[in-house]
């Protein structure tokens, strides 16, 4: 069973979001990184780039597959995790810590209400595991 911190919100496409002081930090979940396997490259959005909730904002590549990263919220990218350029494996080792992807100044924090809480996300992951669908099928 993968780790699903309760203080985060989750997108159905396996991104997590942490909201603090008008900024949302975004990464992929433990479930997603486990399904992807060893991450070898991460393509992140540019700072000052606008992103839209549910739209592609980057790509994560592993030894198994390449998957799109979707922004769970709309806003402007204010920071990217430059550490991932030299150490993409941080996504595998610390998906909820040092392996974060980017931060967005949100336009409307109400979008966070559309994301799943930890229990609902874990149920979704359990259902995907049972059905044989995994994130490497195209979702991060």
Residue 106: φ, ψ to 5°: -80, 145
For residue 43, is it within any domain? yes
Structural domain tally of the chain? 1
Cα separation of 11 and 62, whole Å?
A: 20
pLDDT in tens, 15-30: 999 999 999 999 999 9
Is residue 2, in this structure, part of any structural domain at all?
A: no
d(CA 51, CA 67): 17
Q: Please report whether residue 20 resides in a domain.
A: yes
Contact assessment for residue 31 and residue 125, using Cβ atoms and an 8 Å cutoff: yes
Is 132 a domain residue? no
Residue 138 lies in a domain: no
Residue 54's domain spans which residues?
9-126
Rounded CA gap, 33 and 6, in Å? 18
Tell me whether residue 72 is in a domain. Answer: yes
pLDDT digits (tens, 9 = 90+) for 39-95: 999 999 999 999 999 999 999 999 988 999 999 999 999 999 999 999 999 999 999
Q: What is the pLDDT of residue 134?
A: 59
Query: CATH number for the domain including 69?
Result: 2.40.50.100
Structural domain includes residue 98: yes
More confident residue, 22 or 107: 22
- How much is the pTM? 0.91
Position 71 in a domain:
yes
């Amino acid at each position: 069973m993968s780790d699903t911190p309760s203080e985060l919100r989750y997108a159905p496409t396996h991104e997590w979001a942490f909201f603090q002081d008008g900024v949302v930090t975004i990464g992929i979940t433990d479930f997603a990184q486990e399904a992807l396997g060893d991450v070898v490259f991460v393509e992140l959005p540019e700072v000052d780039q606008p992103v839209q909730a549910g739209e592609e904002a980057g790509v994560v590549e592993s030894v198994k597959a390449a998957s799109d990263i979707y922004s769970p919220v709309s806003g402007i990218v204010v920071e990217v995790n430059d550490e991932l350029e030299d150490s993409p494996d941080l996504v595998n080792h610390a998906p909820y810590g040092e392996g974060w992807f980017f931060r967005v100044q949100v336009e409307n924090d109400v979008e966070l209400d559309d994301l799943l809480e930890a229990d609902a996300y874990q149920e979704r992951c359990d259902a995907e595991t049972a059905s044989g669908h995994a994130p490497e099928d195209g979702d991060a």
